[in-house]
Homo-oligomer: A and B are copies of this chain.
Amino acid sequence: MSDTSNTPEQRYDALHLITDEVLARYSKTPDPRLRELMLSLIKHIHSFAKEVKLTAEEWAFTMNFLEETGKWCSPGRNEFMIFSDALGLSMLTVTQDYPRPEHATEPTLVGPFLLENAPQFPMGADISAGAAGTPMYAHGQVLDIHGQPVAHAIIDVWHSDDRGLYDVQDGLEEKGPWARAALTTDADGRYSFWSVLPVDYPVPQDGTAIQMLQATTGRSWRPAHLHFRIQAPGQRPLITHIFDRNSQNLNSDAVFGVRPSLIADFKPQTPGQAPDGKSMDRDFFTLEYNFTMTDALA
């Protein structure tokens, strides 16, 4: 039996035959949604490989690169998520997935550093847990889409210290979490906490995502921000950031996460009385931001 795909025309046909054979096989996927996902994924992966005429060497590099990427994953760090963020896939998914009425707070990407079961703190507590930085007092209210307070909402907040690092990048297992908390709103939907001012930082410098960014966009920095995840019965979970208007990187976020509505004033304050009555003997910052949730999906 002889090889029948050795001329250029026959090789072209062979490529289409491969795609057709793969699609035919996956069209037998029992679950309709999984079938839809797989068939579209296969079509686009094959189209990509054909469009760029992917070489065996590039393919082998990619396989090694994916394996290497897996090695950078650990609790609180998913390196694949950084790729998804850096390629705009995360923001695309967040944007199309989240139908929002006008005036609802915009969501943004979750990022690679969320941890479940964050330490719980009471209203107004200092969540920095030893993180270095300028003191910051953040407060506001969680509202539903009708403007009513959302009482007893669970707010996860997590952010960097003044080095631009998160607890998960700094020996989490030995030192425990810092600048990370689960808070609960009061009967009026209010929240407040003390921590330290977050700063601009680059994506992790020791993984594969930074290699990709350095070889492509050259943009690896994120503007200073606080991460929030807010959950309450009857409300759709809200995952978002609040960005510092003073950041130099608002127009070049490495992961395309900035939305104008999420930029807020982290206001510098001189020593004196803080909004919660605390007496401060050094400079500090205040942030006030109200969140508007949307109704849970039916």
Contact = CB atoms under 8 A, between A and B. Distances in A.
Interface of A: 1-8, 11, 14-15, 18-19, 21-22, 25-26, 28-31, 34-38, 40-42, 44-56, 58-60, 63-64, 66-67, 69-71, 73, 78-81, 84, 87-106, 110, 215-219, 256, 259-261, 263
A23 to B, nearest CB: 9
B88 A42 contact: yes
A19 B26 CA distance: 28
Q: Which 8 A-B pairs have the closest CB atoms?
A: A70-B70, A22-B88, A66-B80, A3-B261, A44-B44, A44-B48, A1-B260, A6-B102
B6 A92 contact: no
A109 to B, nearest CB: 10
B96 A54 contact: yes
Contact of A18 (B28, B66, B92, B260): B92
Nearest to A74: B67
23 contacts: A1-B261, A3-B102, A6-B100, A6-B101, A6-B102, A7-B102, A11-B95, A19-B92, A21-B256, A25-B256, A29-B216, A30-B215, A35-B216, A41-B48, A44-B48, A50-B96, A54-B96, A56-B93, A56-B98, A63-B78, A66-B80, A67-B80, A70-B71
A87 B113 CA distance: 30
A138 to B, nearest CB: 19
B66 A219 contact: no
Query: In the complex this chain forms, how many copies of it are found?
Result: 2
B56 A67 contact: no
A55 B89 CA distance: 11
A60 B50 CA distance: 28
A208 to B, nearest CB: 11
A81 B51 CA distance: 21
A73 B55 CA distance: 23
A1 B258 CA distance: 13
Contacts of A41: 48, 52, 87
A25 B63 contact: no
Nearest to A237: B56
A67 B73 contact: yes
Contact of A95 (B15, B40, B218): B15
